[in-house]
Amino acid sequence: MTDFGIDVSHHNQVDDWQAVRGNNITYTSIKLTESTGFIDNRADSHADRARAAGIRVGGYHFARNTDVGAQVRHFGAQLRALRMIGADSLAPMLDMEVRELRSSANPFVADFIARLRAETGVQRVLVYANLDWWRNVLKPAEWADGDVLLWVARFNGDPGNPGFEHPKLALHQHTNQGRVPGIPGFVDRDATVGGHTLASLLQANGGPAAPPPEAADVHVVQRGENLTRIARQHGTTFEELVRLNNIPNPDIIFPGQVLRLR
């Protein structure tokens, strides 16, 4: 079964969300933030009206090559403000597409995911990029654990069949010129891939959520540190750090990465 959705930003005028839902659109990812200061001025209206129409709502962040921690705090604040943290909300999405991040993309994504989980308690995270990025830049084996799902943009007009395969691929943005009743202009349209459905995309389907930790419950990785040294410093074990933080490759941690200690 394929489930259909849209993603929207301030570029999209939506006149009738009930009509959108009537076109078999069951979820939407809404642009909330960009870099460390930008807030989308239509996000609040999009979220409230989409929810009222029975559409599942989530938020996304457009990444820039600026301080990762500041970007996560900025995004997290808007997720909370627009009530997008909860079991029935769509997983938050990280939008990776700007050229200035290509050379540092994989450590950036790993750091962003770790910090976002620590900031919000949300485990399920979506990572979005186009086909070129998935083939030539991003390396999910370095940062995609069981609660990370991939979202590919390939405008081939064949919903759910992007011509790209990955075990964690869940969403296909198949056009940026979609037509949906209730939206007067073009809109990005999305479809689930393979065995994934709307349920796969919800925060409830990720690992157990937890409240944001107190400062004493986390460790910010410093240059030159490794998990063994950090575990010894805090009276825990290497294995426990790997388990708590869902670390896919224990040999790869990054300066600035936030690790849960308990």
Instruction: Give the separation between CA 72 and CA 36, rounded to whole angstroms.
Output: 8
pLDDT for the residue numbered 262: 77
- In which element (H, E) is residue 245 found? helix 238-245
- Of 205, 223, 241, which one is at a domain's C-terminal end? 205
Q: Where are the beta strands (DSSP E) in the chain?
A: 4-8, 25-34, 38-39, 56-62, 93-95, 125-130, 148-153, 169-178, 187-192, 218-220, 258-260
Clarify whether residues 194 and 225 are in a common domain. Answer: no
Residue 229 is part of a domain; what is its CATH number? 3.10.350.10
List phi, psi (to 5°) of 216: -70, -15
Q: Are residues 170 and 250 in the same domain?
A: no
Residue 215, token pair as written in the block: 């400062």
Tokens of residue 232, six digits: 């010894």
Helix axes 105-120, 68-81, angle to 10 degrees: 40
- Number of helices (H) and strands (E) in the chain: give both, helices first: 8, 11
Regarding whether 226 and 197 lie in a shared domain, the answer is: no
Residues 58 and 151 in one domain: yes
CA angle (106 as vertex; 121, 170 as ends), nearest 5: 65
What's the pLDDT score for residue 208?
A: 62
Q: Is 39 exposed, middle or buried (0-12, 13-18, 19+ CB in 10 A)?
A: middle
Is 236 found in the same domain as 165? no
pTM, rounded to two decimals: 0.82
| Domain that includes residue 222, residue range | 215-260
> Is 210 contained in some domain?
no
Residue 26, domain CATH:
3.20.20.80
Strand partners, 258: 220
Same domain, 124 and 252: no
pLDDT by residue for the chain (262 residues), tens digit each? 899 999 999 999 999 999 999 999 999 999 999 999 999 999 999 999 999 999 999 999 999 999 999 999 999 999 999 999 999 999 999 999 999 999 999 999 999 999 999 999 999 999 999 999 999 999 999 999 999 999 999 999 999 999 999 999 999 999 999 999 999 999 999 999 999 999 999 999 886 654 544 555 778 777 788 899 898 888 899 988 888 887 877 877 776 677 778 7
In whole angstroms, how far apart are CA 164 and each of 129, 131, 134, 154? 12, 8, 9, 9
Same domain, 85 and 177: yes
Q: In this predicted structure, what is the pLDDT of residue 248?
A: 76
Specify whether 255 is located in the same domain as 138. no
Number of domains comprising the chain: 2
- Nearest Cα to Cα of residue 121 among 242, 249, 218, 231: 218
Residue 23, classified by CB atoms within 10 Å of its CB into exposed (0-12), middle (13-18) or buried (19+), is middle
